[in-house]
Amino acid sequence: MSLNIFLTGGTGFFGKSLLRFTPSFNAHRSLSYSILSRDPDQFLLLNPEFNNTNSLRLSRGDILDPGSFEVSTDANYVLHAASDSTVGPALAARLRYRQIVEGTEVVLQKAVASGVRRLLFTSSGGVYGSQPLGLPAIHEDYNGMPDPLDVSNVYSVAKRTAEHLCALYAAEYGIEIVVARCFAFVGEDLPLNVHFAIGNFIRDALWSDQIVVRGDGTPIRSYLDQRDLARWLLVIMQEGRAGEAYNVGSDRAISLVDLAYLIRDLVSPQKSVHVLGGEAGTIKRNRYVPDITKASSELGLRPSFSLEQSIMDTVAAHRARKANRK
């Protein structure tokens, strides 16, 4: 069976991961994407490598404007990945909430109307709330939650609410829903100049005088390569159990200060690492590491790339881009 995927959020990090890397994972099957974008022309201008791609159709529309789009009638899957995780923190909190919750309901309505039988919703590990000190990795059965009275939790609370909406539509309309709870990632499409620590460290290692750790460096993270992200999302979309959530991420934990030194040693050994100390802005999660036993045991999913390889491949891609701009 051919894969005809209606993809929201196809022009962001998740979308570009899928567009770049899924053809190699599905060489034995026909794969095509219909992508909803608020500005297709701008996307192709900034990403010319996706021009003239036969398996890609871009259409203009906005998930907050139900009249602006329809799910393709030939789509057999919807992959809903639209939410501004990159620029999201700069959005007003209520707009961010609307984009995730109301946008998800619009996509669910369109999927049901088009007769699509299965939808993958990309959620977040943030739905679990703060990871307890005695819990090394968060399993899907952990029922913690972010504080709904803390406005800074808008992204996580909205993702949790959107998951519940998915369950309601599955119960009422019979559409199969699978949820991917996504943690942290690294790859050539990760921006180096926003709020992602690993991107900031790579940027500093490449082009700054020193690598700066904002805060005391003690928060613990893990990072999955975006090539694995693409593969995992496709497998979970097709083979994950309906009504279930799967963590998507790496189980290799590393502190931010150790990550900074690792990147320094791999990329620019001559540079120093400067730890500013104190709290790092709005970071509240001291530990953010998934338990991936479920994805591994049920679907055979494991990270394919070491953190070191992912860092070096990301560095190589950014160096090549800079050289091509000269």
Q: How high is the pLDDT of residue 30?
A: 79
Q: What is the mean predicted confidence (pLDDT) over 216-231? A: 96
Contact indicator for 38, 61 with CB cutoff of 8 Å? yes
Q: How high is the pLDDT of residue 317?
A: 96
Q: How high is the pLDDT of residue 25?
A: 58
Lookup result for tokens 């700054």? 208
| Residues of the chain above pLDDT 70, percent | 93
Lookup result for tokens 């990147």? 263
Q: How high is the pLDDT of residue 281?
A: 47
Instruction: Report whether pLDDT(133) > 90.
Output: no
What are the structure tokens assigned to 33, written together? 């994407």
CATH class as words, domain 3-186+223-249+288-305: alpha beta
Q: How high is the pLDDT of residue 3?
A: 86
Instruction: Tell me, rounded to whole angstroms, the distance of Cα 116 from its chain centroid.
Output: 23
Q: How high is the pLDDT of residue 17?
A: 95
* Count of CB atoms situated within 10 Å of the CB of 93: 16
Average model confidence (pLDDT) for the chain?
Answer: 92
Q: What is the mean predicted confidence (pLDDT) over 83-109? A: 85
User: How confident is residue 239, by pLDDT bands cut at 50, 70 and 90?
Assistant: very high
User: How confident is residue 86, by pLDDT bands cut at 50, 70 and 90?
Assistant: low
Instruction: Report whether pLDDT(111) > 70.
Output: yes
What is the pTM for the complete model shown? 0.94
Burial (0-12, 13-18, 19+ Cβ within 10 Å), 301: buried
Instruction: Tell me, rounded to whole angstroms, the distance of Cα 142 from its chain centroid.
Output: 21
| Domain regions of the chain by residue span | 3-186+223-249+288-305
Q: How high is the pLDDT of residue 282?
A: 46
Q: How high is the pLDDT of residue 264?
A: 98
Lookup result for tokens 């030194």? 261
For CA atoms 247, 86, 326, 209, the dihedral sign is negative
